[in-house]
């Protein structure tokens, strides 16, 4: 929650490297405007025998153009994605590093490729096969560490490991850090990469489209024939700053973060139909404030990704918590999902926040970003036009 009397938080930059586009604010806006999905058959690894065969992959040439050869040799691919997106974001914001610049990274799987390679070395050769060069990448906060070094961020560093809502949860946490005076600016967003073993195991567990029940593979959030998510990869980060600091350095302000909340829902998605959603909502105060607010919510970006459990749960919670706003803003219909454009990955939440910030900059806000994960985590952010 962002309370009165605390520093106001604004968005001053963004950077993304995803399957559809790469660049700063203009590139991201253009990618959203095109609306062309890059989801296609997987190329990076074999998927023979898998029930799932689709993904949204970042082209290797795109990443190579953003990371020099020396860094590419030293860093794992997911760390390269993180560094590239963070550099694009700070360049977009025109901000330098220092002790008052922090970083918050959200990820679903982390650097699983390095973990696999590290373990494989031991299985092949025993203790002598354990690589000290690979080991640092197996730690979950490796992406935050290398990105912080690359951009000179010497403030607080936080890594969040969360399914479905990793990126938007990272932005919410970053906004709270600034409002609490722990940093003047924070790089926040999410990152994930496609990994063969992870992809195949998820497909075997029927956690990807097509899930149990079969049907045509594809990402169809909130549709009657939705049957699971399609994975993507990439990194998207935003620069959040205290309003006064942004104004003092003459920064371009895209949007203001008006309110945030997150918490755990102590129940599984299938229980929504049997229990009152209000008793499941750990962010009910956020929605009560929003319901009482004279500001209209013009758009809503949801976490629905084709997983029926997530899609149906999210619609039920929104309809219950915002009945009046839902009718006025069209939230009785499904919220907007970016999963069909970019695939489900840790950076998708950052893309949702960036899309809402672009809407606010064009006067199409306030916009609500809402997320729910099967594990029970719920996050909400409200972005409005810059003051």
Instruction: Output the pLDDT for position 275.
Output: 47
Q: Which two tokens stand for residue 97?
A: 């590093």
Does 366 map to a domain? yes
Does one domain contain both 198 and 336? Answer: no
Does 133 map to a domain? yes
Instruction: Output the pLDDT for position 329.
Output: 47
What SS3 state is found at 44?
coil
Does one domain contain both 48 and 62? Answer: yes
Does one domain contain both 222 and 110? Answer: yes
Which region among 229-233, 235-239, 362-366 has the lowest average model confidence (pLDDT)?
362-366
How far is the C-alpha of 82 from the C-alpha of 265, rounded, in Å? Answer: 30
Q: Domain end: 203, 233, 255, which one?
A: 255
Does one domain contain both 15 and 131? Answer: yes
For residue 322, how many C-alpha atoms fall within 13 Å in the half-sphere facing its CB? 27
Does 352 map to a domain? yes
Does one domain contain both 34 and 13? Answer: yes
Does 165 map to a domain? yes
Does 1 map to a domain? no
Does one domain contain both 325 and 264? Answer: yes
Which region among 123-127, 253-257, 264-268, 329-333 has the lowest average model confidence (pLDDT)?
329-333
Does one domain contain both 245 and 280? Answer: no
pLDDT single digits (tens) 68-100:
988 888 899 999 999 999 999 999 999 999 999
Q: What share of the chain has pLDDT > 70, as a percent?
A: 88
Quickly list DSSP for 307-365.
-HHHHHHHHHHHHHH-HHHHHHHTTTSPPB--HHHH-BSTTHHHHHHHHHHHHHHTT--
Instruction: Output the pLDDT for position 10.
Output: 97
What single-letter DSSP state applies at residue 54? E
On the question of pLDDT at 324 being above 90, the answer is no
On the question of pLDDT at 3 being above 70, the answer is no
Does 3 map to a domain? no
On the question of pLDDT at 9 being above 60, the answer is yes
What single-letter DSSP state applies at residue 147? H
Q: Domain end: 198, 229, 255, which one?
A: 255
Average pLDDT over residues 248-274: 78
How far is the C-alpha of 81 from the C-alpha of 345, rounded, in Å? Answer: 13
Q: Domain end: 211, 229, 255, which one?
A: 255
Does one domain contain both 228 and 282? Answer: no
- Residue 280 banded pLDDT, cuts 50, 70, 90: very low
- Residue 50 banded pLDDT, cuts 50, 70, 90: very high
Average pLDDT over residues 347-351: 97
Instruction: Output the pLDDT for position 295.
Output: 66
What SS3 state is found at 297?
coil
* 326-340 core/surface letters (b: 16 or more CB in 10 A; e: else): beebebeebbbbbbb
Does one domain contain both 243 and 284? Answer: no
Q: Answer whether 108's CB lies under 8 Å from 168's CB.
A: no
**For all residues of the chain together, what is the average pLDDT?**
88
Which region among 35-39, 184-188, 363-367 has the lowest average model confidence (pLDDT)?
363-367
Instruction: Output the pLDDT for position 279.
Output: 47
Global pTM value: 0.91
On the question of pLDDT at 278 being above 80, the answer is no
Quickly list DSSP for 157-190.
EEEEE-TTTHHHHHHHHHHHHHHTTS-SEEEEEE
Does one domain contain both 179 and 227? Answer: yes
Does one domain contain both 102 and 236? Answer: yes
- Residue 5 banded pLDDT, cuts 50, 70, 90: low
Does 22 map to a domain? yes
On the question of pLDDT at 281 being above 90, the answer is no
Q: Answer whether 383's CB lies under 8 Å from 353's CB.
A: yes
Does one domain contain both 174 and 265? Answer: no
- Residue 131 banded pLDDT, cuts 50, 70, 90: confident
Q: For residue 285, what is the domain's CATH number?
A: 3.40.47.10
- Between residues 242 and 297, the one the model is more confident about: 242
Domain containing 353 equals 259-384
- How far CA 240 is from CA of 25, 118, 212, 373, in Å, comes to 14, 35, 41, 24
Does 361 map to a domain? yes
State the total domains in the chain: 2
Secondary structure of 68-128 in the HEC alphabet?
CHHHHHHCCHHHHHHHHHHHHHHHHHCCCCECCEEEEEEECCCCHHHHHHHHHHHHHHHHH
On the question of pLDDT at 137 being above 90, the answer is no
């Amino acid at each position: 929650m962002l309370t009165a009397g605390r520093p106001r938080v604004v968005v001053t930059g963004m950077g993304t490297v995803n399957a559809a586009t790469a660049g700063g604010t203009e590139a991201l806006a253009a990618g959203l405007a095109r609306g062309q999905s890059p989801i296609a058959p997987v190329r990076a690894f074999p998927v023979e025998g898998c029930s799932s065969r689709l993904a949204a992959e970042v082209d290797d040439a795109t990443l190579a153009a953003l990371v020099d050869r020396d860094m590419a040799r030293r860093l794992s691919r997911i760390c390269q994605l993180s560094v590239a997106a963070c550099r694009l974001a700070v360049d977009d914001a025109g901000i330098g590093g220092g002790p008052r610049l922090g970083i918050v990274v959200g990820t679903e799987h982390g650097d699983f490729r390095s973990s696999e390679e590290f373990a494989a070395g031991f299985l092949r050769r025993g203790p002598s096969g354990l690589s000290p060069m690979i080991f640092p990448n197996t730690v979950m906060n490796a992406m935050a560490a290398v990105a912080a070094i690359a951009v000179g961020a010497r403030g607080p560093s936080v890594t969040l490991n969360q399914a479905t809502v990793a990126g938007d949860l990272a932005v919410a946490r970053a906004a709270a850090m600034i409002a609490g005076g722990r940093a003047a600016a924070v790089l926040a967003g999410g990152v994930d990469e496609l990994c063969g073993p992870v992809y195949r195991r998820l497909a075997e567990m029927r956690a990807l489209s097509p899930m149990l029940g079969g049907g045509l593979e594809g990402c169809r959030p909130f549709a009657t024939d939705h049957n699971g998510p399609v994975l993507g990869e990439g990194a998207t980060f935003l620069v959040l700053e205290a309003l006064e600091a942004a104004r003092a350095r003459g920064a371009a302000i895209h949007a203001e973060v008006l309110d945030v909340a997150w918490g755990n829902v102590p129940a599984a998605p299938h229980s929504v139909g049997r229990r009152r959603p209000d008793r499941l909502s750990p962010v009910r105060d956020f929605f009560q404030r929003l319901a009482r607010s004279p500001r209209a919510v013009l758009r809503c970006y949801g976490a629905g990704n084709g997983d029926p459990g997530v899609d149906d749960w999210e619609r039920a919670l929104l309809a219950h918590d915002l009945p009046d706003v839902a009718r006025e803003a069209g939230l009785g219909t499904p919220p907007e999902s970016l999963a069909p454009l970019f695939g489900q990955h840790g950076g998708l939440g950052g893309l949702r926040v960036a899309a809402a910030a672009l809407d606010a900059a064009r006067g199409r806000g306030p916009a609500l970003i809402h997320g729910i994960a099967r594990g029970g985590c719920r996050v909400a952010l409200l972005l409005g036009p810059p003051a």
